Structure 1
Amino acid sequence: MSNHTKQYTSYALGAFGHDAFYATLSTYLMLFITSQLFNTSDKAFDSHMILMITNMMMIIRIVEIVFDPIIGGFVDNTDTRWGKFKPWLMTGATISSVMLVIIFTDFGGLTTSNPTMYLVAFGIAYVILDIFYSFKDISFWSMLPALSVDEKVRARFGTVGRLGSTIGAQAVPIVIYPLIVFFSQTFSGTSGQTKTHAGWMGFAIVIGLVSFLGALATTLGTKEKKSLIRQNTEKVGVIDVFKALGKNDQLMWLALSYFLFALGYVVTNSLLAYYFTYVLGQSGKFTFAGWIMAILGVISVSLFPTIVAKIQRKAIYTGGILMMVVGYILFLFAGHSLLAVLVAVAIFFFPYPMIFLAALMTITDSVEYGQWKNGTRNESVTLSVRPLIDKLAGAVANGVVGLAAVHSGMIGNAAPSSITSAELTNFKMYMFYGPVVLILLAACVYFFKVKLTEDKHKEIVTDLEKKLEAEQSEK
């Protein structure tokens, strides 16, 4: 295996485990809480606890996003024999994987025996998980500009990384119900499609292990590239971290656009399992959606290098969003037809990996833009913005999903026949109407405000190299 192939494969494996973890945390934890954890005969108690946990998770993630740029500063200021990313990557992977398993339990029955104590214990565990997940997330994606400053090589790393993350994220809806049922039968002695706490915990153990092994593969198989441009760094303080971000206008506009897009997408994607369970009444068929998204995700990511070379990122980002809007429209007319829903899923999801890559490559290029504009290179600080946005979008989305589940009557053992027309209208507001407005706003912001194109980035890199070489020769 050539060195480049080894590095690409290692980075893709890390992305696979990382996004399997993220999908579980951002989408399926809420499904566990609303359908399994709080499923007593007292629906008022269940609704109260679901809303309490939903609000807690949202508040914790919103408060902690302030620390993401500071975490990026920690990573940027790290200097070890293993580089500045890998120690944080492995530490974050180990602790976050352990904590993931813990939050997929009822903490020894505290959910019913002492609900207040459960909320305290869950809050502490969730904070620890979130902090170390942030270290892992920022370290992993911050490696991208350090692996190469060459636009083509960087795009390859971004593409294989997104390929791995797409497969990892979409593998979860494929395996989630089979794994939960398998572990329920193994540990709880159930039969049929019955799902138990033990089954969910077994699923969480698998995901935690996959996340850890992926991080290990990236740690052992990748290598930071040394270059004159990357040497133009200095240690930054807390205030300097936020100054560096605030002065990077292209990063800020991209951040606004991507937040609007991510929030709309995550809300719809998170409610998809509810649609199959409580609208179609065919939770077992959710695996089909996972397969469709996995296959189309691989195709979409594979096509990205060819398409971006022809039409560039701006057309991919805005055009992809318009295609997703078509998917939303089809969803509204799909009703209870499984085939129509799966077609809508395919059209809605296909452009998503390309849109993500267009945003990721723009954020990555803003490292050199910020260096060119402000005189200092901040890799992890700059790349921390994308995880920060995903966390913020995920936090708000978790809150929206919790509200949607309660306001639409989709909790516990509810069935499609028990969902009223008013509750179904509420559900559509959460899953379709609100998100489509958000992603259209995202397209407008990107189209009119983001000017950092591929050609502009090449000019910036050339200018930086000339400037730094001149400064080197004068010494």
Structure 2
Amino acid sequence: MDKVSRSSKIIFAFGGLGKDAMFAMSTIMFFYFVNLIGISAAFIGIMFMVVRIWDAVNDPVMGGIVSNTHTRMGKFRPWILIGSGLNAIILVFVFLNPNLAPDSIRMLVYVTVFYTLWGMTYTLMDIPFWSMIPALSQSQRERENITVLTRFFTSIGFFIISAAYLDLAKFLGGGETTRHQITGLFWLSLIVSVVFFLSELLLVLKVRERVVPKSQEKITIRKMFSLIRKNDQLSVVMIVVLIANFVLYITSNMAIFFITYDIGNQGLFFIFIGLGGVLQVVGALCFPLIRGFLKRKQIFNASIALQIIGFVLLFTNAFVLDNVVALVFALGALVFFGQGLQMVLQTVLLSDTVEYGEYKLGERTEGLAFAVQTFIVKLAMGLSLGVTGIGLDLFGFVAEVDDMPQPQAQATLYAMRVMMFVLPVIGLLLSLYIFNKKHTLDERRYADIVEILKGRGTYDQEAFEL
């Protein structure tokens, strides 16, 4: 009754591959603007943080728009199509170097405008993309299967770009100089934009919503924020995911600097991030197996514990053993595997808050629930980029000169280690406490809520038919 066809699952998941390849391009923008274009790290860090926070604040508004959308194509697919088309075009302009002086007003305005537009257009498709999962099935297991497959594909898309962008930039640009890498990243942005749009177009044409609530009154902006505030389980998941993503992005932002300047071998970056991508995929794929004998809360606690152990031992390796490379990879594996489990969990936990909110508040708002995910991902990225940019500038980071990495002061290297290993541990301990203290929507309670909603006659009959 609630089973989704295999082809729909695969096509939806493939849309995730293109989507996160696009998102990965945003994670290398800091490196592109600072190391290649030569703009101040402090300016880029602060600008990224402000723009991300501004963009994040707009996400609930977009979620409300999605929840109020009623077309022949459904709620979600029109926005996925529009957003992916616009976002693909904007990405090309982000990496189209206008050849202006790095710290000139015109260059700073250009970078700020197109970075802002990139974030806003990405929102147009990202919120409806994730919001479709609760509309595909009400079965927890089916949602978990869809989420695991989608996270598998998103991890592939993300890590193909984030691990290989340096080598791809040199290959596509025809050389290793800064000028060649700038050219190469422009061509990479063009390729990613095409793959991204085509993957979303296939999703729009082939995947349809199946859980269709009966018509409800339009949700105003004021009511929208009230619904988010009153859905206590959504708020709990929101805080936990914010902290988890802050940890993830601090690690990914600092990895290139840590490996290049502290370990002293930039060539290891591709291997390290590639290993991370593989282990995150393995973690995601192991979720259904682990789910067979552990409850969700137990899996969450295990995923956090693995990351904390990994970060503590990485910190010890850095300060006591002076970065034994083999240990960096082995201990990083613990962190990446835990993150893979956690990424699946955060999506399925958010999916469950849709029915919980409908049960408690009388409104079904998938768009709002997953606007929260996009909001917190962007907020976490903005905060992490701000911390990275300000931290590097504050502790005297010296950017490349004539395509050559420069020696860094010992204090700068120590600061990198603290940002890479200590801040994540603090965040993870906090998320562990909040989740175990406040999250109450377990498997049994969710099943009871779904039965109550079916008894109310909330959905059109075709919502439960293949």
Do Structure 1 and Structure 2 share a fold, with TM-score over 0.5?
yes
For 1:152-167, list aligned pairs within 5 A: 152-167=141-156
The counterpart of 2:382, out of the listed 395, 398, 401, is 395
Equivalent of residue 213 in structure 1, options 171, 185, 198: 198
| Cα drift, residue 357 of structure 1 | 1.4
Q: Distance in 2 between the 1:374 and 1:97 partners?
A: 37
Partner of 2:184 in structure 1?
199
CA gap of 1:395–1:192, structure 2 versus 1, over 3 A, is closer
Q: Quickly say closer, same or farther: Cα 1:35–1:193, change in 2 above 3 A.
A: closer
SS in 2 for 1:350: helix
CA deviation map 1:386-408 (0-9, x unaligned): 11100000111111121233225
CA distance in 1, matches of 2:87, 2:293: 40
C-alpha distance in 2 between matches for 1:202 and 1:168: 17
Q: C-alpha distance in 1, partners of 2:126/2:364?
A: 20
Q: CA distance change for structure 1 residues 199 and 471 in 2, over 3 Å: closer, same or farther?
A: closer
Following superposition of structure 1 onto structure 2, how do residues 32-181 of structure 1 map, counting pairs within 5 Å? 32-38=32-38, 46=39, 49-106=40-97, 108-112=98-102, 115-181=104-170
Shift of residue 195, structure 1, vs aligned partner: 4.5
Q: CA deviation at 1:145?
A: 0.4
Maintained 8 Å contact 1:232/1:376: no
Per-residue CA deviation, residues 8-67 of structure 1 (Å, 9 max, x unaligned), is: 111111111111222221x211111221110xxxxxxx5xx3322321221122122221
Match of 2:241 among 258, 268, 280: 258
In the alignment, is the contact (CA less than 8 A) between 1:183 and 1:199 conserved in 2?
Answer: yes
| Residue deviations 1:297-347 (CA, integer Å, cap 9, x gap) | 222111111212321211111211111112112322053433222112211
Change (3 A) 1:133 1:469: closer
CA contact (8 A) 1:103 1:122 kept: yes
In 2, the alpha carbon distance for the partners of 1:149 and 1:232 equals 18
Match of residue 31 from structure 2: 31
CA deviation vs aligned residue, 1:368-421 (integer Å, no higher than 9, x gap): 000000111111111211111000001111111212332251522497771221
Contact kept in structure 1, 2:277 and 2:336, CA below 8 Å: no
Which of residues 390, 409, 422 in structure 1 aligns to 2:397? Answer: 409
Q: Secondary structure at the match of 1:138?
A: helix
CA contact (8 A) 1:408 1:426 kept: no
* 2:417 alignment counterpart: 428
Q: Percent of aligned pairs with the same residue? A: 27
Asked whether the equivalents of residues 312 and 425 of structure 2 are also in contact (C-alpha less than 8 Å), the reply is no
Aligned residue number for residue 8 of structure 2: 7
Whether 2:317 is the aligned partner of 1:326: answer no
CA 1:203–1:410 in structure 2 vs 1: closer, same or farther (change >3 Å)? Answer: farther
Q: Secondary structure at the match of 2:388?
A: helix
Q: Please say if 1:231 is aligned against 2:218.
A: no
Asked if the contact 2:134/2:143 (under 8 Å) is kept, the reply is: yes
Shift of 1:208: 2.0
The one-letter amino acid of 1:9's match is I
Q: Please say if residues 214 and 459 of structure 2, whose CA atoms lie closer than 8 Å, have aligned partners that are also in contact.
A: no
1:82 match: secondary structure: coil
For structure 1, which runs of at least 5 residues remain unmatched after alignment? 39-45
* Conserved? CA contact 1:36–1:197, under 8 Å: yes
Amino acid at match of 1:381: L
Structure 2: distance between partners of 1:203 and 1:77 = 36
Matched, 1:292 2:283: no
> What whole-Å deviation, never above 9, does each CA across 1:147-171 have from its counterpart, x for those lacking one?
1112121111111111111111121
DSSP-derived class of the 1:311 partner: coil
In 1, the alpha carbon distance for the partners of 2:442 and 2:398 equals 44
Q: Give, in whole Å, the separation in 2 of the partners of 1:12 and 1:122.
A: 32
RMSD of aligned alpha carbons:
2.3
Q: Distance in 2 between matches of 1:287 and 1:265?
A: 17
Matched, 1:467 2:452: no
Determine the C-alpha separation between the residues in 2 that align with 1:102 and 1:204. 9
C-alpha spacing 1:193/1:119, structure 2 compared with 1 (3 Å): closer
Amino acid at match of 2:399: I
* Aligned counterparts, 1:331-410, within 5 A: 331-332=314-315, 333-334=317-318, 335-406=322-393, 407-410=395-398
Greater mean alpha carbon deviation, residues 140-149 or residues 15-24:
15-24
Mapped to 2, the partners of 1:109 and 1:51 lie a distance apart of 21
Structure-1 residue corresponding to 2:21: 20
SS at match of 2:295: helix
Offset from partner CA, 1:176-212 (integer Å, 9 cap, x none): 1221011221xxxx36898531112122222222222
**What letter corresponds to residue 34 of structure 2 in structure 1?**
T
Q: Which runs of 5+ in 2 are unaligned?
A: 462-466
The SS at the match of 1:387 is helix
Secondary structure of the residue that 2:5 maps to in structure 1?
helix
Aligned residues of 2:256 and 2:269 also touching (Cα < 8 A):
yes
2:464 is matched with which residue?
A: none
Residue 275 of structure 1 is matched in structure 2 by: 258
Distance change >3 Å, CA 347–CA 81, structure 1 → 2: same
Paired residue type of 1:331: L
1:34–1:405 CA contact under 8 A, matched in 2: no
Count of residue pairs the alignment pairs up? 453
